[in-house]
Structure formats: C-alpha cells, structure tokens
Structure 1
Amino acid sequence: MAQLLPVAVRDWDFPRGVASVALLVRFGAERGVPRDALLRGTGLPPSRLDDPAAQVDAHQELTVARNLVREFGDPPGLGLEAGVRYRVTTFGVFGFACISSPTLRDAITFALRYLDLSFIFCLPVVELADDELRFELRDDGLPHDVRRFLLERDITAIHTVMHDLLPGGLHVRRLQFRFPAPPDPARYAEVFGFRPAFGAPAHHVAIDAASLGQPLPQASAHTVALCEAQCRELVSRRRARSGIAHQVRDKLIRVGGTLAMEDVARELNISTRTLRRRLEDAGTSFRGLLDEVRQALAEEMLATGALSVEDVALRLGYAEASSFIYAFRRWTGTTPARYLRAGKRA
C-alpha cells in the first residue's frame, strides 16, 4: 500500500534566503540582462544579494523569475539552465544537513520536514509505494507566465541535488511533464539522462525505492544533528519575521492597494516606525508590498478586458492615468497598452 510522506509547507508563499534570488540574477546577468532589470519591482537593493544571512519574501523571488522570463520570452528549457545551477551547497545549512544524512531516504525525509528552508515554488506530493518513490509537483497556484520556468527549475534543481547526494548516480524510473514536447527535447535528455514524457496528466517523477537505502558518502550523525538544530532555529526565526509581511499584504489586497503606510500601522496598532523596521527585518518594505499588490491587481483587471487603463488607474488610487502608466512600466518594463496587446496575441 502506498504511503504519503508529510510535507512541511502547503503553499509556496514562505520566506526564504536570498541565495536563490542572487543565483537567478547572476544567471540573467551572464546572458546580458542588467541586474536592475531583474530586480525591478522587488524593492531589493543590489547590496542585499551579497548578504548571505538576508531573508526575502517569496513574492520577491517570484518577481525576479517573472522579470527573467519576460526578458527571454520563456523559451522551453530556460528553467533547466537555471535549475542545474542549484547545488546542495546553494541551500546552506539545510543542504549540509541533507548531505550529512545517513541514507537517501533520511535526506528526503529531512528535506520534506524543513521544505520551507528551500526555494521551491512547485509543491511536491510524495508517495512511497512498494518499489518506487513518486513525486508529483504541483504548479496550479503559480502565475501562468512563470509556471513552466519554475516547474523546470524546481524539478531540475531536485534532480541535481539528488545527484550531489549520490555521486554514483540515481535511478530515475519515470519523468513526465504536463506541458507539450518542445521542438527539440535534446537538452532535456542531456540534463536528465533520458528523454522525459511530455503531455502527461501531471508533472511526475518516480525513482527506484531500492535507491532510498543507499548510504550517503558524507554521512555524519554529529553534523546532521548540529545542522538540524540550526534549521529549527532558522525556521522559527523566519516565520516570526514573515508574519508582518502577510498581514500588510492582506490588508492592502482587501482595500485594493489604496491604504497608506500610516493607515496600515494604525490598523495593526503599531507606530509607522515600528512597521517600517519589522518589514525591513522580514526582508521587504511597505513600498515593495504596495507595488506587488498593485501590480497583481492591475494585471488581473487589465486581463478581464472590461476596464480601460484610466479605470484601472482610478481603482488603484492613482489621480491620473499617466502616474499609473509610469508605475506599471516600472513594475513590468512595459506599458499597460502593450501588456494588453501581448495578452491578446497569447
């Protein structure tokens, strides 16, 4: 009988370290995209990427991914090229705990228990059967424009890290993608060692259950115990910091992105100065959250086709359409009119 393994998170909206954002920015910069273009709309100063202890909001990483996809046009396989760069060391103490685990099964169990220390967006449903371990990665809750990129990135990163854990190789039985086959699937076969199936009912990976008992070459009971203690502390600290960002975002969404910082602070019964400091501790800012909410609401309203640019500007609290157009260009790199035309062509 198949057994579902417990997973620590239920959605992708959890705080995370800055390493993944830094990696994506380097990835884009190596392909000629300026760092400022990739950080547009995140509220993150470039200096934050150099601080290994910095925390970011999941929406900030999502914005970087959207900027990256927008710059390159979302070609099939873009996520593969980003995903192969995620090594076990990219994940810091979380990665060291996995690589120090006694067996592959212990490493996977640990990873699922502390999944909110990863950078994942496509959440896994993990099922252990008699002869295989099955992962289904779900991308339903992600914006359409980055689903393929993030799915490719996440599944390739998982594959790469598992090979770091077991340098001798990992027997993958099946790999299936829900999206249609690309014109040239050769790069997929090169990355995964065989050609995946495309057009499947779900994004699905199956590995041989016999692999789970393999001892890991760098196993160390002492190291994994020390790392787990640090992971527990890190999770607790991040969750405490991130609560304020969720509260502010929820209040802004509820009123359509029209509250001032002073109004939000008053509703939370704290001073404006305290709110600003707590948001900084959480790796974000009021301006960044306001831009994020307004951008999401603007794209949603424009996509309906029922509202003019002037109507959307008014509903988001802009006195003039020109101010909204300027802000929209700053968020997305394009104007609302071009955004609408691109949506109609798609």
Structure 2
Amino acid sequence: MNNHRKLFVQNLLAYAVQRDVSAQLLCSLSGIDMELLQKSGEFEPTPKQMNDLWVNACHVSNDQLFGLHFGESLQLTALGVVGDIIKSSSTIGEAVTLSTKLTHLLTDLFHIDLARTNETFTMHFIPHASEKEKPSFSFLQTIDFFMVFVIHEMNGLLLTKLKPVSVCFPHTVSDINEYERVLRCRPVKKPGEYSITFSNRLWDEPVITHNYELQTLLLKKINDELPSANRESYRSKVYNYLLTNSYLGLVSLEEIAANFNVSARWMQRKLKEEGVSYQQVADDIRKSLALYYLNAGNYPVKEISYLLGYNEISAFSRAFKRWTGTTPVGYQKGNKS
C-alpha cells in the first residue's frame, strides 16, 4: 500500500523536474531521503514531509497553483495499479465508483463521497477531521490536484471532451480564470463544499480501454496488499470484538483500530464502505448488552447505565427509548407483567 504514495511523490518530483526544478533540492528542503525514495521497497512520506514538499514545490517553481497544474499534466498510467484499474472499467460510472474507493491509497487528507440524482452525479471531497477547521497547505494543493486530475483523466476514457456541470470550493480561488481554464468550468464558492458535478448522461458511457479480465486481476492485487483484517466485514469484526470484550467497557475507535493494526481513519473508511459508522456498531452493542442486563433482572438501571459508559441515567434512557420505543424502566415493568 505504501508504494502507491511513493509513486505519487515520485511523479510529483518528475513533474517538478519538467518545470526546471531540482528534485534533489525539493527532497533536501522537505526532509525526504532521495536515495531511499529511489530504492525498491516501501516508502511512506510523513504528513510534514508532504506538506513541506508542496510548499517548496510551489515556492521554487514560483507557481502557487502547482497542484492544479500537476493534475493537468499527470496521466492515469502514472498511478500504477490504481490507474490501470480505473482504465479497465467498463463505464464512466464504474470508473468513478472505483476511483472513490481507491483514494485512500494515495492520500489520508480526505475521502470522496459519490452522490447521484436523475440529472447529475457529484464527487464530494470530504476533508478528514484535522483538515476541516484550518486546511493545511498540503490539503489545498492535493484537492486541486485531484479535482483537475479527475476531469482530465475521465476525459481520456471517452471519445468526447468532458466538461463538468459545476465545480465548488468553500473559499475564493486565487486565480479564477486559470481555474476555469484547467477545470473547464468556472468554480463557484459554496461554504463547506469541495465538489465536482457531471451530467448523469456520462454515467453509462463506455470506457474505451475497458478490460474486465485485467481489472479483476488488478483488484485482487490491491486486495492482497491490504492487511488481512481488512478483507473481512469490518462491521462483524468490530461488533464481535466489542461484544467479546464487553467486560473491558466500550473502547474508543482509536483503541479498537490499534487492536486491528490499522489507523482510525482507515477503519472509519472501511465501515463507511459497509454502510455503517463505528458509533452505530457501538450503539448496537450497547442495545444488546442493555437488553441482556435488563432481562437478567438483577441489575439496577443506574448500574447498567454506568456499565454501558453513560455518565447520566437520562442519557442512557434517551438512547434506550430510541432503540426500543420505551424507557429502561418501562421495559423492566413490561417484562414483569
């Protein structure tokens, strides 16, 4: 998995070289060991190294829109397996769906949610928690890169020129005319929104490089690279772990992620792909345990509330009523009658 990010850094440096910027200089300024980067094997840039790399690339090239222009120049083949999977999709809809699921291989700064209506489909770039209040320089450059890359490389999958219906940013862009040229659409300011919207007519358009057999092999390769814990249903694994270890109390997302040897962000993404959040799984456990304790008949409601991690009985009562339609006391009375 680390090799995808290594490839991304290598491509960024290669683009910088085309802009007459020394790759060695950028690595030196950003604290990246260029020899290690060039060797075979894993390489995982730290968040600080990536932020410094973007900052220095913009400064040395004298281009504050470096990410935007990098995205315009890069081709899908430069992303290795990820690019090959997207190219081998059967339709634009499938290519977009797969690309949103593979984003985490390239960055931890955001994920992409896909929304469709009868008229359009929209790719929403959702910042992770640490980037929502005060986005890092790296985040802003990476968002620019991905937005233009999506547009230009989707275009390479078709025989017609692609143009978005709309592009939204939560801030005013620095050079709106250049953004309009590269994104093929004049960006608009919309609070809290990084998104690209396309006509739904594109969804079923066939991809000219479609290769089902190749895609199947490549998806298997990607799956084989993931930790084994990630290949099974995370919902059931998390549920079973919480239930089996309920005597320890309900642990935090960070603690259970550490138990599975993955990051909390990774776990959040995997659960979201399965249509559930960690909070929902934890609530399912709380409901099961609450019913167990109440049915046992020898646990006071106050003690059950404490066992389930609620600081106040009122909070537990509200949650229980949401789950069952009645209060814990009402449930106990119903069982006695």
What's the TM-score once normalised by structure 2's chain length?
0.58
- Please tell me whether the aligned partners of residues 20 and 119 of structure 1 are also in contact (alpha carbons under 8 angstroms): no
Larger radius of gyration, structure 1 or 2?
Answer: 2
Cα distance, 1:133 vs structure 2: 1.1
Cα distance, 1:96 vs structure 2: 1.0
Q: Secondary structure of 2:77's partner?
A: helix
- Equivalent position to 1:90, from 78, 84, 90: 78
- Equivalent position to 1:185, from 165, 171, 176: 176
- Please tell me whether the aligned partners of residues 15 and 116 of structure 1 are also in contact (alpha carbons under 8 angstroms): no
Q: Deviations over 1:64-112 (max 9, x none)?
A: 223324545773x332111112311111112111111111111222223
Change (3 A) 1:173 1:85: same
Change (3 A) 1:51 1:89: farther
- Equivalent position to 2:195, from 177, 192, 204: 204
- Please tell me whether the aligned partners of residues 163 and 184 of structure 2 are also in contact (alpha carbons under 8 angstroms): no
- Please tell me whether the aligned partners of residues 126 and 135 of structure 1 are also in contact (alpha carbons under 8 angstroms): yes
Higher deviation after alignment, 110-119 or 219-228: 110-119
Change (3 A) 1:165 1:227: same
Q: Deviations over 1:110-140 (max 9, x none)?
A: 2233333334733222212222111222346
Change (3 A) 1:230 1:58: farther
Aligned residues, how many?
227
Report the equivalent of 2:23. Answer: 35
- Report the Cα distance in structure 2 between the residues aligned to 1:234 and 1:41, rounded to whole angstroms: 31
Report the equivalent of 1:316. Answer: none
- Please tell me whether the aligned partners of residues 178 and 199 of structure 1 are also in contact (alpha carbons under 8 angstroms): yes
- Structure having the higher helix fraction is 2
- Please tell me whether the aligned partners of residues 28 and 68 of structure 1 are also in contact (alpha carbons under 8 angstroms): yes
Report the equivalent of 1:68. Answer: 57
**Residue pairs, 1:37-186, within 5 angstroms:** 37-40=25-28, 44-51=32-39, 54-57=42-45, 59=47, 60-71=49-60, 75=64, 77-119=65-107, 121-139=109-127, 141-142=130-131, 143-182=135-174, 184-186=175-177
Q: Deviations over 1:252-279 (max 9, x none)?
A: xxxxxxxxxxxxxxxxxxxxxxxxxxxx
Q: Secondary structure of 1:175's partner?
A: strand
CA-based RMSD of the aligned residues comes to: 3.3
Change (3 A) 1:32 1:123: same
Higher deviation after alignment, 199-208 or 39-48: 39-48
- Report the Cα distance in structure 2 between the residues aligned to 1:85 and 1:36, rounded to whole angstroms: 21
2:150 alignment partner AA: I
2:179 alignment partner AA: Y
1:213 alignment partner AA: D
Q: Secondary structure of 2:160's partner?
A: coil
- Please tell me whether the aligned partners of residues 103 and 216 of structure 1 are also in contact (alpha carbons under 8 angstroms): yes
Change (3 A) 1:33 1:217: closer
Higher deviation after alignment, 48-57 or 144-153: 48-57
Change (3 A) 1:15 1:125: farther
- Please tell me whether the aligned partners of residues 30 and 53 of structure 2 are also in contact (alpha carbons under 8 angstroms): yes
Report the equivalent of 2:296. Answer: none
Cα distance, 1:216 vs structure 2: 0.8
Question: Segments of 4+ in structure 1 off by > 6 A?
Answer: none
- Report the Cα distance in structure 1 between the residues aligned to 2:188 and 2:124, rounded to whole angstroms: 14
Q: Secondary structure of 2:207's partner?
A: coil
Report the equivalent of 1:194. Answer: 185
- Please tell me whether the aligned partners of residues 76 and 153 of structure 2 are also in contact (alpha carbons under 8 angstroms): yes
1:110 alignment partner AA: L
- Equivalent position to 2:212, from 213, 221, 227: 221
- Report the Cα distance in structure 2 between the residues aligned to 1:48 and 1:163, rounded to whole angstroms: 35
Report the equivalent of 1:235. Answer: 226
Change (3 A) 1:84 1:53: farther
